[in-house]
Amino acid sequence: MTDCPQAVYTSARRTLEGPGFGVFAVSAGWPAALGRTRTALGGLVAGSPGGGEAFGVVHRDGGRLLTRTVAASADGFGREGNYLVHLLWDGAGRLGPRDLLAVRRAGLFLDALPADAAPTTDLPPLPVPEPERAAPVLSGEDVDALIPPLARLLAALAAGRGELTLPPVTPGGRDVAAVLFDVLPRTLAAPVSLSAGPVADRGDRAPVRVRLDAAPAAGRRPTAADTERARTLLEAAGKGDLAPDTLTDVRQLDVWLFADAWADADADALTPEQVGCVLDSVAAPRWLARGRNTAAALELADDPHVARPLAGAVARDAAAALRVREQVLAGLLDEVLDGAEGPGERAVELAALTQGDLCRALASAVTGGRRVARLGGEARLLVEQTLSLGVELPLLELTDDLWELAQLATRRRVVGDALVAQWPTAPADRQPALLGHLLVADAGWLSRLEPVLAPTGLPQVLRWAALRLDAPGVERLALTVATGGAAGRGWALREVLLGAELPADEAAAVLARNLTVLLADDGWPRDVAAALARGRAGGDDTGPRRRRGPRRPRP
């Protein structure tokens, strides 16, 4: 119930302003801003409806006015052309077109002054009950006739503004306004003012203004979507199913009208607006669970029609949140492992993944047999972070990009330490190739892996690495072999120096500088090796040396 202060304006022997037209009666709570004089009330009381009536709901600053103007009989002086205006003020702004029409139907507006009435400033407020809403009974002809006016009204509501003219009745005699404002949700219709008859108030603040008139319909041209909304809304009402009064905008109306039907379609068959409506509905979890709908929704995560509904679905439903997390995580892994385009920033935010989630997912994927195609910058960083968090990551099964893995293990201590720890249990068939790349990256790996390194196959690995090194690198590797755990087998001379196939002058220079160590490694007595080295140093000229740049290992 809404208590509405009243004002009654008419021609009488005596009004609050004196004889003639003026405010006859007014409630004590009538707003001073509206006034109680003919000048202040202006267009609300400015004209006669002729032989009929005029009525409307008008938006003013601070509330709503419900108005009705009717022709009145001759006044006490016998003058014709009199009329009576009954005004109701709703300071809470709750009343709208549906309430206006209900007040009119219920006969709460005055048709005339009571015979014993006297001018007063203490007219009690009029209690206006909230009208009982009932679904109209509509025939197919009614629906067809009401679709165009309802579509025009929906087009204005979707735009947020507009002025339109609608017919008072359909060709079949149905009251257009009564049906339209019964099927429209109350909150959705809140921005609408309504007027009928010759009197119009120029102070109306409503963003959407509807006038009932027999003139040709006017207003914003409805789209196909507006027409479909109107048809579906009327057909639902005809079956007794009314849209909830709490729906605030056309988009929420679309959710109520169409979400169930759209939820049966895949994302590729829907517009972003339709996807957003499905995500706003209770059907969102089952729709996301089907096919690639979650992936498609995440691809639209930056679209303004989808961003908020998708976030809402994730917040409302744990299953939907899990599917989004899994999809984003899979996309991030595809980016790291395969170099595919990863999910967008908004999608990653929605998934609320931690670095630990991604690290554990990487370890699980590699353990399951997936490989990093190229160990680029982001992949290298993720590997380092995974190991830093203590997550078990099988490095020898990580990638076939062994050169990058060898460089990463050489440059990042946590990766190198993990590689040494995993080496004894790593697949034996992958050890030789990786060891060769490690030795090219840093000859010190031979000493670092020595406690866990099997000598079987090491000569071939040394020769493979030496072939890919420049002269300084060959020299470092040869000295490492000759002085480490593999010393005494002659591999430094035979596999490394001679296996490197350096130009003769470069090989001779390396040999001259390290002859004692290399011959001793090859089994020569140390004193003999030292004597040979002294003799060579005294008599042989190694000639000019030509430096070569490092050679990148061939895959």
Among 238, 259, 279, where does a domain finish? 238
Same domain, 116 and 144: no
Does any domain span residue 73?
A: yes
Residue-level pLDDT at 541:
45
Mark 207-223 as b/e (b = at least 16 C-beta within 10 Å). Answer: bbbbbbbeeeeebbebe
Among 108, 128, 148, where does a domain finish? 128
Residue-level pLDDT at 78:
56
* Residue scoring higher pLDDT (254 or 46): 254
Does any domain span residue 289?
A: no
The closest alpha carbon to 253, from 149, 152, 162, 183, belongs to: 183
Domain coverage including residue 21: 2-128
Whether the full predicted model's pTM is greater than 0.75, yes or no, is no
Residue-level pLDDT at 547:
40
Please tell me the distance from the alpha carbon of residue 108 to that of residue 42, in angstroms, as a whole number.
Answer: 23
Tell me the mean pLDDT in the region 154-169: 93
Among 238, 260, 292, where does a domain finish? 238
Tell me the mean pLDDT in the region 363-371: 94
**Residue 198 pLDDT greater than 70, yes or no:** yes
Residue-level pLDDT at 292:
92
Q: What are all long-range contacts of 140-144, with beta carbons under 8 Å and residues at least 24 apart?
A: 141/172, 142/170, 142/172, 142/174, 142/179, 142/234, 142/238, 143/231, 143/234, 143/235, 143/238
* Residue scoring higher pLDDT (536 or 379): 379
**Contact criterion met (CB below 8 Å) for 207 and 161:** yes
Tell me the mean pLDDT in the region 154-171: 93
The DSSP secondary-structure symbol of 290 reads: S
Does any domain span residue 206?
A: yes
Residue-level pLDDT at 534:
55
Q: How far are the Cα atoms of 296, 375, 390, 405 from residue 395, in angstroms, in the given order? A: 34, 12, 13, 8
Classify burial at 535, counting beta carbons within 10 Å of its beta carbon; exposed 0-12, middle 13-18, buried 19 or more. Answer: exposed
Tokens encoding 56 = 């409307």
Same domain, 116 and 203: no
* Rg (alpha carbons) of the chain, rounded to whole number: 44
The closest alpha carbon to 167, from 191, 185, 147, 183, belongs to: 147
Give per-residue pLDDT as tens, 86-101: 999 999 999 999 999 9
Same domain, 99 and 223: no
Does any domain span residue 322?
A: no
Does any domain span residue 105?
A: yes
How confident is the prediction for the chain on average, in pLDDT?
88
Same domain, 118 and 150: no
Same domain, 7 and 121: yes
Does any domain span residue 265?
A: no
Classify burial at 499, counting beta carbons within 10 Å of its beta carbon; exposed 0-12, middle 13-18, buried 19 or more. Answer: buried
Runs of H (alpha helix) within 389-540: 402-411, 413-422, 431-441, 445-448, 458-466, 471-483, 491, 504-521, 526-539
Element (H, E) at 89: strand 82-90
